[in-house]
Amino acid sequence: MSTSTTLEEARPGWARRQERERRHRRAKSRLRLPFAVAAGCWAALLLWWAAAYPAFTGDAPDGSAPLYAAAVRLVHPGPATLLQTAAAAFALGYLVAALARYGVRGRHAGPVAVGLAGLPPTASLVVSATPDAVVALAALLLTGAGLRLLARRAEGTLRQGGPAQRLDLAVLFSAVCALALTGTRGAGTALAAVAVLLAFLPRARLRLALPTALALAVPLALGLLGHPAAPAGDLRPLRAADLAVAGRSAAAPANPALDAVAPAPVWAAAGADCSASAALTDRWNAPAADRAEGELATAWRQLLRDHPDAVLDARLCRARIAWGVWAGGDGPHAATGVPGPAAGSRGLWHPLHAAATWSHTLLRAPQLDWLLWRGALWAYLGLAAAVLYAWRHRLAALVPVAGAAVLGTQLALTASAADQDYRRMAAALLAGPLLLTLATVRTRRAD
């Protein structure tokens, strides 16, 4: 029998009851914050859902994520976006609870989360029928799970397990699975984020690696069974856009097949407007591009072998949405893309729909673009707050763990960005402001 057990039994019964009550109240107070935040966020998102019904950006998603598109068609866009509001409320409350483990007070993180649920840039995304909403919410969950696991490592309880840790691992598995099922860009985000977590959570590597491998294997298995859940994607627009940009500097190899896809002036214009592949694909001959797929792939591989700098130049230009705080000014596609409500977005109550549309349009003022619609700014601010916290509390691992999901998004966009749509960096718009609350913590909370 240990000394602590003997001392515990020697204490009076009333003292033991008071200690149990204090522990119970402490546990209830820890649960009260995320539930309150999630409830507030869901209330704000439900107003947006009612204003944008069945979906803000229309009632049919694009074909970039076949499994997501099939799910939306199966359950109808209205219920699908309603489920997204519930998932977003849970993700915001979950991340607030994770930040509370580092001493962030609810009065700082809670209003930020509710504000994110009510602001047009983030709220309109959540109620949109687009896989970008799933990617952003999954990145938010990945950030919360990583922070909670790191807090357990810092407290020395990572190996003890328990229901709360199993919840964190289940959330991480669900987030990775959701990312993997949204296509190659989501899978790239998941791989980069989990690689960072594996590096900085050494005592949980096996418990992280196994569910991650299983989650990434799900789309592969569906593909082997004949379901296009994780297609490689149509690489022709990206490769053709690379060839157009390279042709501007005469680095692209001469190929008669390219003239059949689009006339020389179209290639030249697309090379000068490097911010989006649509500068070429909106004006090319699609049937001819289908027939010349092999020639385009061969020309692109030759370009990559002989002039890799030209390919990198084109990819970085299209990936400005991931890294640039301000939109570019070179070409009609360089501005930040912000889709407005589609014709199918009619709302359940016209005045509410009109108010949501008006607020969304109001905040599209060019002077607010860098602040409200460019995720890169909030990625850098959130990372700076994590650096400040890590320096104050000697917890260097916080910086990579807090930024893993957003960094994975940026790297995936560098490889496969096609345009300057703000929704591609919505993960930073959601996670960055919440991570910024780490700067409010000066001393670590005792409990």
Q: How far apart are CA 149 and CA 165, in angstroms?
A: 7
DSSP 75-103: H-HHHHHHHHHHHHHHHHHHHHHHHHTTT
In this predicted structure, what is the pLDDT of residue 230?
45
120 and 258 fall within a common domain:
no
Q: How far apart are CA 76 and CA 258, in angstroms?
A: 41
124 and 39 fall within a common domain:
yes
220 and 273 fall within a common domain:
no
Q: What residues contact 308, with CB distance under 8 A and at least 6 apart?
A: none
List, for residues 225-240, the tens digit of each pLDDT value.
Answer: 655 554 455 678 999 9
Which of 324, 208, 303, 327 shows the shortest CA–CA distance to 248? 303
Q: Find the mean pLDDT for residues 252-267.
A: 82
Does the pLDDT of residue 241 top 80, yes or no?
Answer: yes
In this predicted structure, what is the pLDDT of residue 3?
45
396 and 259 fall within a common domain:
no
Burial group, residue 320, by CB count within 10 angstroms (0-12, 13-18, 19+): buried
Tell me the two tokens of residue 188.
Answer: 């790239």
The answer to whether position 51 is within a domain reads: yes
Does the pLDDT of residue 286 top 60, yes or no?
Answer: yes
The answer to whether position 342 is within a domain reads: no
87 and 220 fall within a common domain:
yes
CB 70 within 8 A of CB 116: no
Domain ends where: 323, 357, 376?
323
Does the pLDDT of residue 368 top 70, yes or no?
Answer: yes
In this predicted structure, what is the pLDDT of residue 60?
60
The answer to whether position 338 is within a domain reads: no
Domain that holds residue 137: 25-229+366-440
In this predicted structure, what is the pLDDT of residue 14?
63
Which of 69, 70, 66, 71 shows the shortest CA–CA distance to 233? 66
Q: What's the pLDDT band for 20 if we cut at 50, 70, 90?
A: low
410 and 292 fall within a common domain:
no
List, for residues 310-353, the tens digit of each pLDDT value.
Answer: 999 999 999 999 999 999 877 889 999 999 998 889 999 999 99
Q: How far apart are CA 235 and CA 317, in angstroms?
A: 17
The answer to whether position 1 is within a domain reads: no
106 and 225 fall within a common domain:
yes
209 and 136 fall within a common domain:
yes
205 and 264 fall within a common domain:
no
197 and 132 fall within a common domain:
yes
At 265, phi and psi to the nearest 5? Answer: -60, -35
The answer to whether position 360 is within a domain reads: no
Handedness of CA 133, 134, 135, 139 (dihedral sign): positive
- Predicted TM-score of the model (pTM): 0.90
Q: What's the pLDDT band for 117 if we cut at 50, 70, 90?
A: very high
Q: Compare 439 and 74 and report the one with higher pLDDT.
A: 439
80 and 162 fall within a common domain:
yes
Domain ends where: 288, 323, 358?
323
Domain ends where: 264, 297, 323?
323
Our count of domains for the chain comes to: 2
Q: Compare 2 and 44 and report the one with higher pLDDT.
A: 44
CB 425 within 8 A of CB 409: yes
In this predicted structure, what is the pLDDT of residue 161?
75
Q: Compare 225 and 192 and report the one with higher pLDDT.
A: 192
List, for residues 389-420, the tens digit of each pLDDT value.
Answer: 999 999 999 999 999 999 999 999 999 899 99
The answer to whether position 331 is within a domain reads: no
306 and 399 fall within a common domain:
no
Maximal C-alpha separation, the chain? 92
Q: How far apart are CA 91 and CA 83, in angstroms?
A: 12
The answer to whether position 150 is within a domain reads: yes
CA distances in angstroms from 253 to 34, 73, 240, 244, 281, listed in the order given: 57, 43, 12, 11, 19
The answer to whether position 332 is within a domain reads: no
In this predicted structure, what is the pLDDT of residue 63?
61
